[in-house]
A and B are shown apart, each in its own frame.
Chain A
Amino acid sequence: MNALETAGAWLAEGRKVAIATVIETWGSAPQPVGSQLVVDDAGNFEGAVSGGCVEGDVITAAQEAIETGAHKLLSYGVADETAWKVGLACGGKIRILVEAVK
């Protein structure tokens, strides 16, 4: 089952769902453009947008998107000023679109 099919199945169960998608990568990125992570309002998730490095942060952002309904663009990389918090150990950079399904 791919991430969108998971999203469809979760919606059918009455869960609130958001989707995070890798939209751009630079350098050595663990997951290619188009990779998706599906998150529900309880924090369950399927899929991946990195090798596990930034998923925690993306899940929080996805739950916010479920609350607000607004889409969001996130960027991660070691050169980022937030790198002390979450970043990519591999040295790559990624950009992620987070959107609620509603």
Chain B
Amino acid sequence: MTPQLLQQVLEARAARRPVAVVTDLKTGGQRMIARENAAADPLSAILDKAFRFDKSGVEQTGGGEVFVTVHNPPLRLVITGAVLIAQALIPMARAAGYDIWVVDPRGAFATGARFPDIHLHAEWPDEIIPQIGLDSRTAFIALTHDPKIDDPALALALTSEVFYIGALGSKKTQGSRVERLKAKGLSEAQLARIHGPIGLNIGAVGASEIAISIMAEMTKALRLG
């Protein structure tokens, strides 16, 4: 790999542009293809599959054996609620490769002392979330229990391509949440995307174990759809 190619790949990652690198395993020769140019590439079928399933691998082509490396944008996790479960979840999500945003207009909760080294916004979700941009490599989680904060954020997530939407609360809370969002014009099909009560049912007790169950459910959505 040339330093120039490495630089191009790193710039694409930083700008959240999906790219692939094709390596000819015989010669070691390499080229980078942006996802938007993949359809016009001689290897379009292979590249399309690799991007869609986020799967690097060796492929046989007319020109010999190649290795296709997919560089999809890094995963992101956007959380409303600068609460204890968020504090427990953040180190796990970071270890799994997520960039993390926490949004909570309650300044007493959203402090740098409680949430170091993440993107922290003590603002209303409908002001900041459109700037973050929710895409197919992003998971969204609502943890405040407060409809004034969670509902507008959920409405944004439900009309985006995020791969996971979770909302904290009992079945009853989830029921009334669905009714409120329906009244805001969201459809049954859209609302069915909410994982609520949030997390895989592993009998979690306390913030740390709930965070584990959320992390597991997010991973399942990412890997198994």
Contacts and interface: CB of A to CB of B under 8 A. Distances in A.
Interface of A: 2, 4-5, 7-8, 11, 19, 21, 23-24, 33-34, 70-71, 73, 95, 97, 99-102
A49 B183 CA distance: 51
Contacts of A5: 10, 13
Contacts of B67: 21, 23, 97
B96 interface: no
Interface in B108-129: none
B57 A33 contact: yes
Contacts of A70: 28
Nearest to B24: A71
Contact of A11 (B6, B9, B25, B28): B6
B7 A24 contact: no
Given A5-B10, A23-B67, A34-B69, A97 B57 contact: no
Interface centre among B7, B9, B25, B28 (most CB of A within 10 A): B28
Contacts of B25: 23, 73, 97
B170 interface: no
Nearest to A8: B10
Contact of A99 (B10, B28, B56, B97): B28
Query: Interface size bucket, B side?
Result: 20 to 34
Contacts of A34: 56, 69-70
Given A5-B13, A23-B57, A23-B58, 11 more contacts: A4-B6, A4-B13, A5-B10, A23-B67, A24-B58, A33-B55, A95-B58, A97-B67, A99-B28, A101-B3, A102-B2
A71 B69 contact: no
B205 interface: no
A33 B53 CA distance: 13
A33 B2 CA distance: 21
Contact of B3 (A21, A23, A24, A102): A102
5 contacts: A4-B9, A21-B67, A33-B55, A33-B57, A97-B67
